[in-house]
Amino acid sequence: MTHSDAPTTEFAWTALGGDPGLLPRLSAVVRSGALEARLPVRELARACVGACALAAAELGARRAGLAEVPEVRVDDGAVATAFVSERHLLVDGRAPVTFAPLSRFWRTADGWVRTHANYPHHRARLLGALGLPDGASVETVAGCLAERSAVEVEDAVYAAGGLAVALRTPEEWARHEQGAAVAGQPLVERGTLGSAASRRLPPLAGDPLSPAAGLRVLDLTRVIAGPVATRTLALLGADVLRVDPPGLPELADQHADTGFGKRSATLDLTAGRHDRQIFEELLASADVVVTGYRPGALDRFGLSAEALAERRPGIVVGQLSAWGAYGPWGGRRGFDSLVQVATGIAAIEGSEEKPGALPAQALDHGTGYLLAAGVLRAVTEGLDEGGTRFVRPTLARTAAWLMAGDGAGAGRGGATQEASYGDPAPWLAEADSALGRLRYALPPVSFTGGPNDWSRPPGPWGADSPRWG
């Protein structure tokens, strides 16, 4: 990669197949103090949100019959606040816990390793791989890991189905087979399968503010990146139904943060014909399917892009993964914090004493907005060209983009305004919900006239009927 690949909206928009002639419709409010880091996190965040907002404005103008795409302005204050939305969330005044005690950096005999154990099953697998009892303390785990090499821990925990990644420098990641495979991929993989007829969507009667209105989105994602993408599609008017297996509940606070605008249901696709039949009925009238499980995990349910192209011609398929569906790590689970460690980000942001981290889970949030943008652009392209379209961003490829250069402002587009970022209050709101009184970050994706907020707050996980609204 070269400096020209640095995090700019122009680069992201081009990667999404967008018309360069629309970039002058975009401007930014640049704020010092927003998402400060050694790497260009602010520029990456602005670029991802800008590309998403421009894709929304483009689709809205097309459906509303406007001669010109609405102007898009991206404010670093809104973006910086939204990129740490999980930290701004309050539920009846209570702040959420974002990382469990065993999700952290650990010293090993030859370096560092980072683990992810927020979910109970991942915690159990981590301790099992280390030969420790379920109630093992942080001190006990630290003592165990200090006696092993980082790569040894990485391999053992992965073999047990858990999550641990050894700290690597950017140079070490570049030499790693997975790092080389990721570097050879586009920022967002895009393609068309089959020759389905072009999509038909009702016009928006001159109002572009709900460009995704009428789209039914089947949300099969978890954690942050995928739910951020579908939360954004819900903001833009889509009917989003999140479906989870009943035995794998989402973390309550995480669900509250990313559940705005959606409904949440559970279906067990392995337990028998009833739930599977309901799912098939949902799929039969879905316009978009977004998945966020590790590559191949849902293929047995006929949810690969190729199978969906046969079963539901013309559908848009968004597939999110941590490492990509290629290379030796193509089938591995992963999270933002672990990708930062593997790719060299943690080494760059840290010190000789300890690895560091980005000021936000920017790989998650940024990739989520890229995924939403890719879906919107696929819908727009499908209005003319038809076909079943797929969009595949990965956290690791977003990480490579972040490390490609030092950023270049907003990219091509209108003039920027210089300001500062301090108090996030202008980009926070409150609302009552079935979960309690919520304080939350407002959406950063908007264009002339809106949208300004979601149409509904989140409800309890799995509490809705598995049907379209």
pLDDT in tens, 160-200: 999 999 999 999 999 999 999 999 999 999 999 988 887 78
How large a percentage of the chain has pLDDT more than 90? 78
Name the strand (E) or helix (H) holding 342.
helix 336-343
pLDDT at residue 328 above 70? Answer: yes
Distance (Å) of CA 68 to CA 19, 25, 63, 377: 13, 9, 12, 17
Strands, E, within 205-345: which ranges? 216-220, 239-244, 263-266, 288-291, 316-319
Q: What is the pLDDT of residue 23?
A: 96
Structure confidence at residue 171 (pLDDT): 97
DSSP H or E run through 75: strand 72-75
Q: What pLDDT, on the 0 to 100 scale, is given for residue 337?
A: 93
Length of the chain in residues, anyone?
A: 469
Q: Evaluate whether 229 touches 318 at the Cβ level (below 8 Å).
A: yes
Q: What is the pLDDT of residue 414?
A: 57
Cβ 427 vs Cβ 445: under 8 Å: no
pLDDT at position 352: 85
Q: What is the mean pLDDT of residues 129-147?
A: 91
Instruction: Outline where DSSP puts E strands in 176-304.
Output: 188-193, 216-220, 239-244, 263-266, 288-291
Q: Which two tokens stand for residue 162?
A: 């858990």
Mean pLDDT of 85-101: 90
Q: What is the mean pLDDT of residues 392-399?
A: 97
pLDDT at 327: 94
What's the chain's average pLDDT? 92
The pLDDT value recorded for residue 207 is 77
Q: How confident is the model at residue 415 (pLDDT cuts 50, 70, 90)?
A: low
Query: Looking at the predicted structure, is the pLDDT value of residue 269 above 50?
Result: yes
pLDDT of 322 over the 90 cut? yes
